[in-house]
Amino acid sequence: MSALVLDGRKIGDQIRHELRPRIETMVQVGHVPGLAVVLVGENPASDIYVRNKVKASEELGIRSFQYTPPASTSTEELLGLIHSLNGNPEVDGILVQMPLPEQIDAQKILFAVDPAKDADGFHPLNVGNLVANRPAPRSCTPAGIMELLKRNKIPIKGQNAVVVGRSDIVGKPISLLLLHQSATVTICHSRTTDLEGECRRADILVAALGRPAFITRDFIKPGAVVIDVGINRVVDPIAVAQLFGHDQSRLAAFSKNGSVIVGDVDPRAMAEVSSAYTPVPGGVGPLTIAMLMANTVTLAEQHCNYAALR
CATH number at residue 228: 3.40.50.720
Please report whether residue 51 resides in a domain: yes
Q: Which of 25-29, 146-150, 247-251 has the lowest mean pLDDT?
A: 247-251
Domain's final residue, options 62, 83, 116: 116
Q: Is the pTM of this model over 0.85?
A: yes
CATH number at residue 71: 3.40.50.10860
Summary mean pLDDT of the chain = 94
Q: What pLDDT sits at residue 283?
A: 96
Q: How confident is the model at residue 310 (pLDDT cuts 50, 70, 90)?
A: very low
Check whether residue 145 and residue 104 sit in a common domain.
no
Q: How far apart are CA 47 and CA 97, in angstroms?
A: 9
120 catalytic residue (yes or no): yes
Q: What is the pLDDT of residues 104-161, one digit of tens each?
A: 999 999 999 999 999 999 999 999 999 999 999 999 999 999 999 999 999 999 999 9
Please report whether residue 9 resides in a domain: no
Q: How confident is the model at residue 308 (pLDDT cuts 50, 70, 90)?
A: low
97 catalytic residue (yes or no): yes
Domain's final residue, options 83, 116, 149: 116
Check whether residue 94 and residue 155 sit in a common domain.
no
66: CB partners within 8 A, 6+ apart = 36, 37, 39, 50, 54
Please report whether residue 44 resides in a domain: yes
Of residues 92, 118, 120, 266, which has the active-site annotation? 120
53 catalytic residue (yes or no): yes
272: CB partners within 8 A, 6+ apart = 3, 217
Of residues 97, 118, 159, 221, which has the active-site annotation? 97
Per-residue pLDDT at 309 exceeds 70? no
Give the chain's domain count.
Answer: 2
Q: What DSSP string runs through the chain?
A: -PPEE--HHHHHHHHHHHHHHHHHHHHHTT---EEEEE--S--HHHHHHHHHHHHHHHHHT-EEEEE---TT--HHHHHHHHHHHHT-TT--EEEEPSPPPTTS-HHHHHHHS-GGGBTTS-SHHHHHHHHTT-SS---HHHHHHHHHHHHTT---TT-EEEEE---TTTHHHHHHHHHHTT-EEEEE-TT-TTHHHHHHT-SEEEE-S--TT-B-GGGS-TT-EEEE---EEE--HHHHHHHHTT-HHHHHHHHHHS-EEE-SB-HHHHHHH-SEE--TTTSSHHHHHHHHHHHHHHHHHHHHHHHHH-
HSE on the CB side for 196, CA within 13 Å?
5
Q: What integer is the mean pLDDT of 79-95?
A: 97
Per-residue pLDDT at 84 exceeds 80? yes
Check whether residue 233 and residue 268 sit in a common domain.
yes
Check whether residue 158 and residue 73 sit in a common domain.
no
Check whether residue 176 and residue 239 sit in a common domain.
yes
Check whether residue 46 and residue 88 sit in a common domain.
yes
Check whether residue 79 and residue 145 sit in a common domain.
no
Domain's final residue, options 100, 116, 132: 116
Please report whether residue 109 resides in a domain: yes
Q: What integer is the mean pLDDT of 226-252?
A: 90
Q: What pLDDT sits at residue 17?
A: 97
Q: What pLDDT sits at residue 136?
A: 96
Check whether residue 186 and residue 240 sit in a common domain.
yes
Check whether residue 154 and residue 83 sit in a common domain.
no
Please report whether residue 226 resides in a domain: yes
Please report whether residue 127 resides in a domain: no
Q: What is the pLDDT of residues 164-221, one digit of tens each?
A: 999 999 999 999 999 999 999 999 998 999 999 999 999 999 999 999 999 999 999 9
In terms of Cα–Cα distance, which of 115, 123, 50 is closest to 86?
115
Q: Which of 101-115, 217-231, 257-271, 295-309 has the lowest mean pLDDT?
A: 295-309
Q: What integer is the mean pLDDT of 69-85?
A: 97
Q: How confident is the model at residue 42 (pLDDT cuts 50, 70, 90)?
A: confident
Check whether residue 68 and residue 101 sit in a common domain.
yes
Please report whether residue 193 resides in a domain: yes
Domain that holds residue 145: 140-284
Please report whether residue 22 resides in a domain: no
Check whether residue 93 and residue 145 sit in a common domain.
no
Check whether residue 40 and residue 100 sit in a common domain.
yes
Q: What pLDDT sits at residue 48?
A: 79
